[in-house]
Amino acid sequence: MSTIKEIEEGVASVVPAECGLSKVEFEGPQIVIYLKNMAAFYRDENLITKIASKLRKKVVLRSDSSVLMPPERAKERIEQLIPPEAGVKDIKFDASFNEVQIEAMKPGVVIGKGGSVLKSIIIATGWSPKVLRSPTMPSEIEAAIRNALLNNSEQRKKFLLGLGKKMTVASNGCEWVKVTALGGFKEVGRSCFLLQTPASNVLVDCGINPDTSDPSKNYPYLNAMGISLEQLDAVILSHAHLDHCGFIPYLYAYGYEGPVYCTPPTRDLMVLLQQDAVNIMHSEHGKSPYAEKDIKKQLNHVITREYGEVTDVTPDVRFTFHNAGHMLGSAQIHMHIGEGFHNLVYSGDIKYGKTKLCDPAVTNFPRVDTLMMESTYGSHLDVKPRIEECDNRIYDVIKRTTDAGGKVLIPVIASGRAQEMMLVLEEKFKDPDFPVYFDGLSKESSAIHTVYPEYLRRNVQRRILQNDSPFDKPMFNTITTRDKRKGIAESKDPAVILAPSGMLSGGPSVEFLKMMADDPKNTLIFVGYQAALSMGRKVQNGERDVPILNEQNKQDTLKVNMNVVTIDGFSGHSDWSQLLAYARNARPRPNRIFTMHGEASKCEELARTLNKMLHSETRVPMPLDTMRLK
């Protein structure tokens, strides 16, 4: 990694004098070049490429503050430059970063061919345009996140500049690499591990286990890190589900001040799901391990990165996100440690198969020495039916139940399975004679999906871009209050209800279950993984007298008389065949594979099979194990 002086000299040697180079700043992992004459810079189309290749870092251009047009005049000029069909919703100025945020229904029109409109904006006004897509439906969470980032831009700038200085310290080489298992090993839930080198302490994922009755297994073993939270350099997050991100705000509550790296949709979904988790923990348990203020502090420290974007984290660690196929924005993390000293790929949660929502997980990486691989369905018995069979089966079950006057409850994760089921229902029931209800949390999550269509399958992406979003069709009705839930459950009319949580660990799905379980005309359909200690697993396994907390928060028994059906193929996790295919197709072939994120027996069976199949070293770490990678 280059020093500050080397980077400044490198920029000055490439940028022509007529561009008026005023300063170079280090905003976290990226370099920002401030110019007084942006028009001169754009005369050479290859100049930005020359700079980026010389510095081997992400480079951002901004105008010097002295040449910025006053915001009111700049807004008028920008409105003249952007074609009306762009559907501009809002224009806001961020003086801390010399940026103008343009929110529009059609960002491509704002960008223009080859970025022509953006260039004209920055040349005419000095302000660097940042284009944001408007959700196709109203979204409180998107508005709140965007406002919070804008309102706190001064603090964010200060944080990024401080981080940039730390990251330009020269590396003394890398002598060893080790990882410590803090959660999610031989279990599903509280995924977390610590990657360490002589110069780096990087936490990868930091989740909770909301689906267990054992308090000792709720949170990662952070006290086993051997370092304080202040000594952590960074957190890298694979995706937004709570078993991977649900404990990150706790770090900020107790002393962590560093960055969280994730994809843009992961940031938004993470905040949504964490806020909901806090509300549920307060309402059902009276307390949570962190507060909303800690989520807000976390947001100010998030640095987003796209798939394929190489990012320096510390002097000897850089990473790249690759599509994981699990949910919107989910990522595998390729970590390049030292100058080719070791390469680690963490799969996170992967789907290496067909879904309606996302493309399958990527299997090509620059280099792989060690692969840490999920094993949720790591048994030879975990072969799931094809998605077409699942579509037909869920249609038959819903049709049979609603024709008989019953209701269907489908517990879903608000982000991922909810949208997958909406796509299935929209396709199979074009004009249903029953309403489909989904929770307000799922509606907000669906709105976030429409902000980031480029992360979805091509056909879904195309529909959103053509203002035909499958997530805001008239057939879908939003539930926002407990009284409305009660009215739906007590009505004699048939209905389909999509409700979080997906494992019946709390929230609306449990509320509906309490009100619907006694009626044998109703049906409960499981479409996702049920953790070993979750209430969902108990019901799925045939228990009909289920222990449950009543409204007085005391233990009670729920009698389950409704039909219970499991349709496995909709899971966002790879089944047995897909896991083997993923490992077989991984390029280059890993020298070593650690299995994790699965029940102990499944991690062990998958490891044995991969060892025989690939002749790679395989291992099944336990919680608290520390493994030296090199």
DSSP at 533: T
Q: Is the pLDDT of residue 1 over 60?
A: no
Q: What is the DSSP annotation of 173-191?
A: -----EEEEEESSSSSSS-
Q: Is 296 helix (H, G, I), strand (E, B) or coil?
A: helix
Strands 495-499 and 523-526: unpaired
As a whole number of angstroms, the distance between CA 95 and CA 74 comes to 13
Question: 440 or 104, which is more confident?
Answer: 104
Token pair for residue 352?
């290496």
- Provide the edge-to-edge strand list for the sheet that holds 99-104: 88-94, 99-104, 128-133
Mean pLDDT, the chain, whole residue set = 93
| In 404-543, alpha helices (H) | 417-428, 440-451, 458-465, 482-490, 508-516, 535-540
- Average pLDDT on 604-611 reads 98
Helices (H) and strands (E) in the chain, counts: 21, 28
Which of 47-61, 150-164, 577-591 shows the lowest per-residue confidence on average (mean pLDDT)? 47-61
| In 325-410, alpha helices (H) | 387-403
Buried b (16+ CB within 10 A) or exposed e, 367-381: ebbbbbbbbbbbbee
Q: What is the pLDDT of residues 232-276, one digit of tens each?
A: 999 999 999 999 999 999 999 999 999 999 999 999 999 999 999
Instruction: Give pLDDT, residue 375.
Output: 98
User: Residues 372, 374, 379, 384: what is their CA dihedral angle, to the nearest 10 degrees?
Assistant: -140
Token pair for residue 546?
């289920």
How confident is residue 2, by pLDDT bands cut at 50, 70 and 90?
low
Instruction: Give pLDDT, residue 55.
Output: 81
Instruction: Give pLDDT, residue 212.
Output: 65
Instruction: Give pLDDT, residue 270.
Output: 98
How confident is residue 501, by pLDDT bands cut at 50, 70 and 90?
confident
Q: What is the pLDDT of residues 385-443, one digit of tens each?
A: 999 999 999 999 999 999 999 999 999 988 899 999 999 999 999 888 899 999 888 99
Q: Is 364 helix (H, G, I), strand (E, B) or coil?
A: strand
Three-state SS across 392-442? HHHHHHHHHHHHCCCEEEEECCCCCHHHHHHHHHHHHCCCCCCCEEEEHHH
Per DSSP (E only), the strands in 54-117 are: 58-63, 88-94, 99-104
Residue 283 class from Cβ within 10 Å (0-12 exposed, 13-18 middle, 19+ buried)? Answer: exposed
Residues ≥6 apart with Cβ < 8 Å to 444: 139, 140, 141, 272
Instruction: Give pLDDT, residue 4.
Output: 75
Token pair for residue 459?
């056909």
Question: Closest Cα to residue 621, out of 178, 207, 180, 176?
Answer: 180
Which of 118-127, 154-163, 257-266, 469-478 shows the lowest per-residue confidence on average (mean pLDDT)? 469-478
Domains of the chain: 4-66 (3.30.300.230), 70-134 (3.30.300.20), 170-381+573-628 (3.60.15.10), 400-570 (3.40.50.10890)
Q: Is the pLDDT of residue 213 over 70?
A: no
Instruction: Give pLDDT, residue 481.
Output: 85
Question: Closest Cα to residue 326, out of 353, 292, 304, 305?
Answer: 353
Q: pTM of the entire structure?
A: 0.94
How confident is residue 107, by pLDDT bands cut at 50, 70 and 90?
very high
Instruction: Identify whether the C-beta of residue 435 lies closer than 8 Å to the C-beta of residue 383.
Output: no
Q: What is the pLDDT of residues 301-334, one digit of tens each?
A: 999 999 999 999 998 999 999 999 999 999 999 9
